[in-house]
């Protein structure tokens, strides 16, 4: 028989999984998501999350508690009498009362090869660290942060120039299929659970504003991984003197080169910048308030001749 599910998620990454479970014929008793936040052009209008919008289109009840600290919120969850809760990028740590509030527990779709990259930013951290492989995992949740036993894994190769945005989209689709498979196995009482290894634990901390600045003193490969790991959001950046004013420029794509020179200096007129070891060519850029441009178009409006210093 189809399972009775509580779905918990917030961003675009979660939406394909919600859709896949609905299409599989499961009964989704309710969707939990983060409350509407200020947004829009002026930053004043309350914006519903992508999951909130998707659930409304599917005709599913939406709940947006700030947390589960009150007895009323916990009891309302338990009263749904669900078989299982499915969690994909919800954005809240769940208390024991919620983890044990369904018949079969809570299952999480996590975008890394656990125990590597537990935490908030596994996609970005994997690329920034130069990992060549990652994946989606379905794990049964317990009180610790991403510490529960793993049910299913789907491996994904990280290409040498793949950005966080590209990897996000690939894992998003892969995760939906994997969770659908996991619930089919759970429904048939055939879902394996394997404890995580104790070695190899790494934490994927949320990206801090201070670490988005590009440090050209690092080796070129590390600079390249830094750029693509933060592309398209929040974006790695440097500063450039433009018409006598220092302005911030985001870099959304790059390639590793072999030329060398003074660190942080343009070696040629094509935005090849010297790094601590080797160099990097910037291929997609964006000035504050401007459009993302290929390097050739950017240089037509903002020349960066050889010898220019980047900060």
pLDDT digits (tens, 9 = 90+) for 159-196: 999 999 999 999 999 999 999 999 999 999 999 999 99
Q: What is the dihedral of CA 125, 129, 130, 133, to 10 degrees?
A: -50
Q: Is 14 annotated as a binding residue?
A: no
Residue-level pLDDT at 38: 87
pLDDT digits (tens, 9 = 90+) for 95-136: 999 999 999 999 999 999 999 999 999 999 999 999 999 999
Residue-level pLDDT at 44: 73
Most distant CA pair in the chain: distance in Å? 69
> Boundaries of CATH 3.40.50.170 in the chain?
4-203
Residue-level pLDDT at 244: 86
Residues in the chain with pLDDT values less than 70? 40-43
pLDDT digits (tens, 9 = 90+) for 142-151: 999 999 999 9
Q: Is 49 annotated as a binding residue?
A: no
Q: Is 46 annotated as a binding residue?
A: no
Q: Is 114 annotated as a binding residue?
A: yes
Global pTM exceeds 0.85? yes
> Boundaries of CATH 3.10.25.10 in the chain?
209-301
CATH superfamily membership of 4-203: Formyl transferase, N-terminal domain (3.40.50.170)
Q: Which CATH architecture has domain 209-301?
A: Roll (3.10)
Using CA atoms, how far apart are residues 75 and 40, in angstroms rounded to an integer? Answer: 34
Q: What is the dihedral of CA 105, 126, 114, 198, to 10 degrees?
A: -140
């Amino acid at each position: 028989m189809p399972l009775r599910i509580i779905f918990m998620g917030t961003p675009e990454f979660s939406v394909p999984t919600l859709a896949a479970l609905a299409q599989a014929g499961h009964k989704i008793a309710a969707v939990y998501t983060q409350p509407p936040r200020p947004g829009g052009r002026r930053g004043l209008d309350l914006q519903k999350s992508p999951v909130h919008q998707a659930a409304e289109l599917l005709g599913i009840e939406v709940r947006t508690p700030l947390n589960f600290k009150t007895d009323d919120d916990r009891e309302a969850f338990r009263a749904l009498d669900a078989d299982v809760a499915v969690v994909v990028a919800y954005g809240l740590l769940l208390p024991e009362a919620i983890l044990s509030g369904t018949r079969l527990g809570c299952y999480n779709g996590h975008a890394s090869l656990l125990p590597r990259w537990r935490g908030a930013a596994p996609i970005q951290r994997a690329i920034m660290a130069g990992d060549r492989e990652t994946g989606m995992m379905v794990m049964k949740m317990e009180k610790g942060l991403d510490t529960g036993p793993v049910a299913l894994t789907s491996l994904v190769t990280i290409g040498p120039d793949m950005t966080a945005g590209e990897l996000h989209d690939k894992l998003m689709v892969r995760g939906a299929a994997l969770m659908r498979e996991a619930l089919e196995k759970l429904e048939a009482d055939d879902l394996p659970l394997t404890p995580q290894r104790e070695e190899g634990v790494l934490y994927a901390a949320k990206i801090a504003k201070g670490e988005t600045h590009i440090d050209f003193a690092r080796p070129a490969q590390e600079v390249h991984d830094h750029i693509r790991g933060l592309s398209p959001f929040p974006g790695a950046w440097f500063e450039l003197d433009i018409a006598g004013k220092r302005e911030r420029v985001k870099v959304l794509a790059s390639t590793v080169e072999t030329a060398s020179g003074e660190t942080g200096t343009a070696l040629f007129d094509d935005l090849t910048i010297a790094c601590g070891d080797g160099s990097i060519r910037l291929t997609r850029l964006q000035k504050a308030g401007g459009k993302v441009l290929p390097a050739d178009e950017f240089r037509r409006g903002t020349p960066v001749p050889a010898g220019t210093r980047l900060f």
